[in-house]
Amino acid sequence: MNTITIPGSDRRVMRGAKSLGPARPDTKLEVTLRLRRRAALPAQALDGTRAPRARTYLTHAQLEASHGAHPADIAKVEAFARASGLDVVHVSVARRSVMLSGTVAAFEKTFGVKLESYTHPTRGRFRGRTGTIQMPVELEKVVEGVFGLDNRPFARPHTSRRRDNPAAPQFNGYTPTQVAGFYNFPTGLDGTGQTIGIIELGGGYRPEDLTAYFNQIGVPVPQVTAVSVDNGNNAPSTADTADGEVMLDIEVAAAVAPKANIVVYFTPDASDRSFLDALTAAVHDTTNNPSVISISWGGPEQTATDSFQQQFDQVLQSAAALGITVTIASGDSGAADEGPNEWDGAAHADFPASSSFALACGGTNITVASGAVTAETVWNQNSADTQGDSFGASGGGVSGVFPLPAYQESAGVPVNTSTGQPGRGVPDVSGDADPNSGYLVRVDGQEFPIGGTSAVAPLWAGLIALCNQSLGHKVGFINPILYANPTAFNDITTGSNRVGPANVGYDAGPGWDACTGLGSPNGQKLLAVLGAPQS
């Protein structure tokens, strides 16, 4: 059989991982194949410069019919899979995906890979591969990516716990409604008619915790629905797990927009397949139909395959075409985007925040007096307050994967320090993220303050839901509008996201910077920019 290499599929051994030998050949696994679009998305569908009310978004049916996978391509892949001894588990034209099941031995033979078992000091055990993925030449350009052969954890939750300091004043955290007030979020709105999708790559929530929390802060208990992706489920355990991420996301978004439906998409792990399948499921969910999606997970660009990043970016483009805004945390390890124990010493951007179709959310520290913010700086605890392997600073930098988008051409984005080439600047916007000025949450029966850029993504998601409600129209992909209207932001000019002994990173300054983007929101001004409420 003549084969070709799938572009962008090259894998290296994870830094710090140790091989335990070949994966058991009889182990069963599932793999997702991503297929090409039937036709490219029209430029107008991705144009974020027009006022939201002047836009007409694609419907799910239109996206599937004109820009989903071609039935003939799906038939080719199904025939190839069955001839290779693999089972076809699920097919979706809209999602451009075919899910296959089979043994390790069958997948190794079919795709020309060797799968091994690995262990890592902080990531645990996983199945991995090195090199590229092969496929039959007759499927060239039909199959654009194969995900799930390697299930190493890619993404991490971008939360940061406050460390106890007996010398510091007692701080229990601000409620999300207080933070919304600090940022002048529009009042008289509650998210009615909106659905906020939340991507979670592990963890879970307890309904009784949600009831107790929202009763305590005086906000209606939200309607929360769990959706299973790749056999993942709502699986709460203890407060020191990914449960903290899940509860932070739900509590912040729902406190800001309490009448919005909250739909949480759960996967079984943080691999690239799970992450990609979760976003795809949310974007193409015609049952719950989210108008905004919040993502508080991510990882360094250089640890992901090009194929994964390109496919994820394509799903974000589909979201834009449907009018769905996607808010994504920019990372919690400053310009390093990796913890001290794994860092290679260079500046990196976090993915998927580095996609040009993401609304990338950085972090700040706020000082509050008499119910108002009196000072706001870049969040940066640096190594002085390191917890685990995180530096504790707002993620930000310049992409080495995605080019400089048109909406950032006048923003003063520096070149990528590693490549010397222009690239997409991260983040776009920011908000309170320092755990020392962070959010009161309830997780598995415990209450404590928490921060991280994980809090900023759902904060912005809640704000977008309010704007959608007020306008009576989805605002969708808004990055170009934001960059054209910097007065809708509180410009952060003090601080940096520099980390490590070499002080690697970026400084805040007037206008956009690679620490806090355009700044933190003035909600009322943002709503005015996006369009006045309908009379």
Query: What residues does 297 pair with on adjacent strands?
Result: 157
Spatial strand order of the sheet with 28-35 comes to 87-92, 97-103, 28-35, 143-147
CB 177 within 8 A of CB 265: no
Active site residue 84: no
As to burial, measured by CB atoms within 10 angstroms (0-12 exposed, 13-18 middle, 19+ buried), residue 217 is: middle
297: amino acid identity, one letter: W
Structure tokens at 8: 């962008």
Q: Are 265 and 287 in contact (CB under 8 A)?
A: no
Q: How far apart are CA 160 and CA 452, in angstroms?
A: 5
Maximum Cα–Cα distance across the chain: 73
Catalytic pick from 160, 296, 333, 454? Answer: 454
* Strand partners for 3: 136
User: Helix (H, G, I), strand (E, B), or coil: what is residue 227?
Assistant: strand
Identify the bridge partners of residue 322 per DSSP, sorted by sequence position: none
343 Cβ contact partners less than 8 Å away, ≥ 6 residues apart: 333, 336, 500
Please identify which of the residues 73, 116, 249, 272 carries the catalytic annotation.
249
For 116-194, list the strands marked E by DSSP: 116-120, 124-128, 134-136, 143-147, 156-157, 160-161
Distance between CA 335 and CA 531 in Å, rounded?
35
* C-alpha of 529 from chain center: 25
Q: Is position 454 annotated as part of the catalytic site? A: yes
Write phi, then psi, for 197 (nearest 5 degrees): -90, 140
User: CA-to-CA distance for 435 and 440, rounded, in angstroms?
Assistant: 10
Dihedrals φ, ψ of 527, to 5°?
-60, -40
- The token duo for 489 is 């932001």
User: Between the CA of residue 411 and those of 336, 404, 405, 475, what are the distances in Å?
Assistant: 22, 10, 10, 22
Angle at 187 between CA 184 and CA 188, to 5 degrees: 175
- Name the residues annotated as catalytic: 245, 249, 454
